[in-house]
Amino acid sequence: MSEKIPIGEKVLMKGNEAIGEAAVQACCDCYYGYPITPQNELTAYMSRRMIEEGRVFIQTESEIAAINMCYGSAAVGARSMTSSSSPGISLKQEGISYMASAQLPVFYVNVNRGGPGLGNISPAQSDYYQTTRGGGHGDYRVIAFAPSDVQELYDLTMLGFDLADKYRNPAMIQADGILGQMMEPLVLHEYKRPPDLPSKQPWRLGDPSTTDPLLVTSLVLNVTGMEERNLELQKKYDTITENETRFEEVGLDGADVVMVAYGTASRIAKSAMEVARAKGIKVGLFRPITIWPFPSARLNGLADRFDNFLVVEMSLGQMWEDVRLAVEGKAPVHVHGRTAGGIPQQADIVADLRKVLDAKPGEIVKNF
Amino acid sequence: MTQKIRCAGFGGQGIVLMGKLLAQAGMMDDKHTTFFPQYGAAMRGGTANCSVIVSDDAIASPMVEEPDVVLVMNGPSLDRFEPTVQPGGWIFYNTSLIDREVERKDVNVFKVAANSIAEEVGNARTANMVMLGAFAKKLGTVNLETLLGSLDVQMHGKSGKIMDMNREAMKRGAALIK
Amino acid sequence: MERVFTKPVAMKEPRTLYCPGCGHGVAHRLVAELIDEFGLRERAIGIAPVGCSVFADLYWNFDVISTAHGRAPAAATGMTRANPDCFVVSYQGDGDLAAIGTAEIIHAANRGENFVTVFVNNAIYGMTGGQMAPTTLVGQKSTTCQLGRDPAIMGHPIRVCELLQTLGGVAYIARGALESPKTIMKTKSYLRKAFEYALDRRGFTLVEMLSPCPTNWGMTPPQAMTWLRENMLDYYPLGVVRDVGAEEKAQKPVAA
Ligand SMILES: Cc1ncc(C[n+]2csc(CCOP(=O)(O)OP(=O)(O)O)c2C)c(N)n1
Ligand code: SF4
């Protein structure tokens, strides 16, 4: 990228860098990060752009430090951000749990790589459980976006900051190494701050305009108090589910099989869909854009109209579980899963679509 | 029209830059395009490759399983990617560093003495540009003029001398096609 | 014909996949030579840290464990405490030891754990592609300090040996360099001392090795050697930083 950012224009950009520029545009005040592949370009990008803009950038000593710096910055009302990949995100989970409990906004990015353990640096979606179940300890959720192209990485980063602030809750992007590393044209939209964002003045620390002392904490020792806080959180999560569930449907009309896939897997499924249709297989695609909140209600409705679902994911049956929960047994849910750098191949998906159509009643195609 | 291209060679040959230039030119020609590099530690001193898709239609999967075209800069890459090309596809290869023939009979072959030409231009490191020029002129996937223009974006900040040499190398590659 | 130079038995493969001019191969070999010299191959455990040397098991011909980023000293503690007969060589890069693993190394040193630490300082994050390390010199460029390290916002390069040497559990700390045959041989003598102390269970031992990373310094191997010599040696002086054996000797009253 050249020094001047051509806002409003179409440019060719790497996914990781598009996230960075969106954050800069969306008035991110502080970015804290620690190197890890395959998201290094994001940290490198922020090291330059945040300092150019006179904002805060720190390459931290660890992921744990980074998320706790976010905790501090968020507590004084700043828009804070961190990013990492799977092992580093695991280390951040304690801090994220604290922020969820203290109701502090933060935006973070997980460019998934192969796991478990040190795993490998290849693309994967295998942090789905961690992402959609909160990730750390306790009864909490984070708003999780699952973009599928570079434009969406940019747009949903901006939205992520806004929703984090709006609901005083962690919000994040679940991407994979392909999305992070690929380049694609995108339009660098200008950031428009939603007019209804609540002021942080009533709760941010160190603000001279609040005279009573404030407390930010995730510790509530008395039992009723902590349970009450949890119930308050649950209410908030219900509101988020109602307002912020996002998905896309492609070519569902008359489909014999509905594929369910997100992120890069959804793009491969879309290509497979074209191949399958040319072979006379009637197939459509349902793409969750938020994986928490998960579009369960919509999928449940679709299960009344469609006979078969095939989940395509770069993990081994993690989203499969959510789709099965959503359709409540109204239709069979099949699965095609690859992981840790194994990428679903179009031909294999098409073959599985055939198997799904040929399946006997009660038979589930499980390909992994 | 959709064309799936893979560029391959060893680290240091400017393979990633080849892919970025193609994607940049595709975008400037108002086509849809994606670029995906092989990434990470596996690259140390070894092979490098990247894939680019240029299409008139929106691109679903950015993954290139069976390319229509491979631009091959060294021997090990030819061994690795020759079998992956679509029947009827194209193999462009660098005869300066590869002394064997392409074995497949169901693909088109175009030979480019990329390093020799680049040395004539003044720098062997522009061999990648020679290859790109030949490819663009031969198949017209991206416009040669646009490709030359894409250098200004992707090599922004490089000295005028380096830019001139790269442009010249690209033109010399294109000149292989009469 | 007489063979005068062979690979150590404790080395599987003398050729490495590291970049040309990288110091890791040399550091691995020094460890392997000393494992042979002390006859420790059967009970040795090497640590392959997170970093370019994560594949140390390809080269070391003895047991190897791969540990989480920065946690090698904790894993080494676990192994030596559970089985004091193990001889553990903990091996860490500068990001691994002096950034994410700062707590672990300080507390292992403070407790005087009986394993040897090889600390490879190449002033950069190698494996992840050249980010700033805690040991990156002021003004040195990296992908996350593209204008050069500015101590006002990024802090100062950490001198690990000097930092650790004050701790109670330390037996031996020295700094060598992998920049010429002479400094390599000297570094080996430091490491030999560390092995001896660890075998005698005298406490924490660490040998820092200043090491070139031509790839991420953006240099040829010869340029990298020169850069190391001209830039790192001033800030990271070579020599023994702490040696409790020598201190004891110095304190002993001379017999009349
Ligand atoms: C928790 C965690 N964070 C980040 C990484 C990514 N990572 C891999 S190697 C490395 C740093 C390596 O640098 P250094 O320790 O200096 O060793 P070198 O590669 O230079 O030998 C990092 C940050 C990781 N694997 N795990
Ligand atoms: S990147 Fe640096 S540390 Fe890693 S193998 Fe190459 S020279 Fe060695």
Tens of pLDDT, residues A289-309: 999 999 999 999 999 999 999
| CB of A39 less than 8 A from some CB of C | no
Residue B20 is nearest to which of A177, A183, A345, comparing CB atoms? A183
- Of A146, A34, A161, which Cα lies nearest the Cα of A107? A161
Q: Residue A268: its chain B contacts at CB < 8 A?
A: 60-61, 63
DSSP per-residue codes, A17-37: HHHHHHHHHTT--EEEE---T
H, E, C per residue of chain C: CCCCCCCCCCECCCCCCCCCCCCHHHHHHHHHHHHHHCCCCCCEEEEECCCHHHHHHHCECCEEEECCCCCHHHHHHHHHHHCCCCEEEEEEEHHHHHHHCHHHHHHHHHHCCCCEEEEEECCCECCCCCECCCCCCCCCCECCECCCCCHHHHCCCCCHHHHHCCCCCEEEEEEEECCCHHHHHHHHHHHHHHHHHHHCCCCEEEEEEECCCHHHHCCCHHHHHHHHHHHHHHHCCCEEEEEHHHHHHHHCCCCC
Verify whether ligand 1 is closer than 6 Å to residue C127 (CB atom): yes
- The reply to whether A127 falls in a domain is yes
Q: How many residues does this entry show for chain A?
A: 368
Mutate which of C26, C67, C69 to test ligand 1's pocket (most atoms within 8 Å of Cβ)? C69
Q: How many CB atoms lie within 10 A of CB A98?
A: 22
pLDDT at position B47 over 90: no
Chains that touch C (3 or more CB pairs under 8 A): A, B
Give tens-digit pLDDT for C76-130: 999 999 999 999 999 999 999 999 999 999 999 999 999 999 999 999 999 999 9
- Of A358, A365, A315, which Cα lies nearest the Cα of A335? A365
Calculate the CA B23 to chain-centre distance: 11
- The reply to whether A71 falls in a domain is yes
Contact A325, A295 (CB under 8 A): no
DSSP 8-state assignment for residue A267: H
Which residue in this structure is represented by tokens 């919509």?
A298
What average pLDDT does this structure show over C228-240?
A: 98
In chain C, what percentage of residues exceed pLDDT 70?
A: 99
In this prediction, residue B44 carries a pLDDT of 57
In this prediction, residue B43 carries a pLDDT of 44
CB contact under 8 A, B41 and C19: no
- For A191, residues 6+ apart whose C-beta sits below 8 A from its C-beta are A22, A25, A26, A27, A158
| CB of C48 less than 8 A from some CB of B | no
Collapsed DSSP state (helix, strand, coil) of residue A72: helix
The stretches in chain A having pLDDT less than 70 are 1-3
- The reply to whether C13 falls in a domain is no
| Secondary structure tally for chain A: helices H, strands E | 12, 15
Q: How many CB atoms lie within 10 A of CB B140?
A: 11
In angstroms, rounded to a whole number, what is the distance separating the alpha carbons of residues A293 and C182? Answer: 63
What average pLDDT does this structure show over B53-79?
A: 93
- The reply to whether A3 falls in a domain is no
Residue C239 CA to ligand 2 center (angstroms) comes to 24
Residue B100 CA to ligand 2 center (angstroms) comes to 33
pTM of the model: 0.93
| Side chain identity at residue A63, one-letter code | E
Cis status of the peptide bond prior to A208, with omega within 30 of 0: no
Model confidence band, residue C187 (pLDDT cutoffs 50, 70, 90): very high
Residue A69 CA to ligand 1 center (angstroms) comes to 20
CB contact under 8 A, A37 and C129: yes
pLDDT at position C255 over 70: no
CA of A43 to nearest chain C CA: how many angstroms apart? Answer: 7
CB contact under 8 A, A37 and C128: yes
Give the domain range for residue A278: 248-367
State the best of C215, C216, C219, C220 to mutate against chain B, taking most chain B CBs within 10 Å: C215
In chain C, what percentage of residues exceed pLDDT 90?
A: 92
Q: What is the CATH number of the domain that holds A62?
A: 3.40.50.970
Taking a contact as any Cβ pair under 8 Å apart, which residues of chain C between 92 and 111 contact chain A?
95, 99-100, 102
Residue C194 CA to ligand 1 center (angstroms) comes to 25
The residue whose CA is least distant from atom 1 of ligand 2 is: C126
In angstroms, rounded to a whole number, what is the distance separating the alpha carbons of residues A174 and A142? Answer: 11
- What's the angle, vertex CA B175, arms to CA B169 and CA B178, rounded to 5? 170
Chains that touch B (3 or more CB pairs under 8 A): A, C
What average pLDDT does this structure show over C134-140?
A: 98
- Phi and psi of B112, rounded to 5°? -130, 120
Model confidence band, residue B41 (pLDDT cutoffs 50, 70, 90): low
- Phi and psi of C125, rounded to 5°? -85, 110
| Ligand 1 atom, smallest distance to C135 CA | 16
Q: Residue A34: its chain C contacts at CB < 8 A?
A: 99-100
- The reply to whether A1 falls in a domain is no
Residue C48 CA to ligand 2 center (angstroms) comes to 15
Q: Which ligand is nearest to the CA of A113?
A: 1
Which residue in this structure is represented by tokens 């010869």?
C222
CB contact under 8 A, A184 and B33: yes
In this prediction, residue C251 carries a pLDDT of 85
- The reply to whether A218 falls in a domain is yes
Verify whether ligand 2 is closer than 6 Å to residue C19 (CB atom): yes
Q: What is the CATH number of the domain that holds B90?
A: 3.40.920.10
Contact B59, B92 (CB under 8 A): no
| Strand ranges of the sheet holding A309-313, from the earlier edge strand across to the other edge | A247-250, A283-288, A257-260, A309-313, A333-337, A366-367
Residue C52 CA to ligand 2 center (angstroms) comes to 6
Q: Which ligand is nearest to the CA of C133?
A: 1
State the best of C65, C124, C143 to mutate against chain A, taking most chain A CBs within 10 Å: C143
| CB of B4 less than 8 A from some CB of A | no
> What is the residue-averaged pLDDT of chain C?
95
Same domain? A108 vs A239: yes
Give the domain range for residue C161: 24-251
Token pair of C109 as six digits = 């040193």
Verify whether ligand 1 is closer than 6 Å to residue C69 (CB atom): yes
- Among A200, A227, A244, where does a domain finish? A244
Contact B95, B72 (CB under 8 A): no
Token pair of C166 as six digits = 């004050």
Same domain? A89 vs A48: yes
Token pair of A61 as six digits = 């000593």
Model confidence band, residue B45 (pLDDT cutoffs 50, 70, 90): low
| CB of A52 less than 8 A from some CB of C | no
- For A360, residues 6+ apart whose C-beta sits below 8 A from its C-beta are none
Number of independent structural domains in chain C: 1
Token pair of A325 as six digits = 């929960």
In this prediction, residue A3 carries a pLDDT of 58
CA of B150 to nearest chain A CA: how many angstroms apart? Answer: 11
Collapsed DSSP state (helix, strand, coil) of residue A3: coil
DSSP 8-state assignment for residue A123: B
pLDDT at position B83 over 90: yes
In angstroms, rounded to a whole number, what is the distance separating the alpha carbons of residues B48 and A294? Answer: 38
Give the domain range for residue B92: 2-174
CB contact under 8 A, B44 and C20: no
| Ligand 1 atom, smallest distance to C120 CA | 21
Same domain? A142 vs A86: yes
- Among A244, A261, A279, where does a domain finish? A244
In angstroms, rounded to a whole number, what is the distance separating the alpha carbons of residues A11 and A259? Answer: 31
Q: What is the CATH number of the domain that holds C187?
A: 3.40.50.970
CA of C49 to nearest chain A CA: how many angstroms apart? Answer: 11
**Cross-strand pairs, C88:** C45
Number of independent structural domains in chain A: 2
Number of independent structural domains in chain B: 1
ipTM: 0.92
Collapsed DSSP state (helix, strand, coil) of residue B21: helix
In angstroms, rounded to a whole number, what is the distance separating the alpha carbons of residues A105 and A27? Answer: 14
- Among A244, A264, A284, where does a domain finish? A244
Which residue in this structure is represented by tokens 């995906």?
B36
For A112, the enclosing helix (H) or strand (E) is strand A106-112
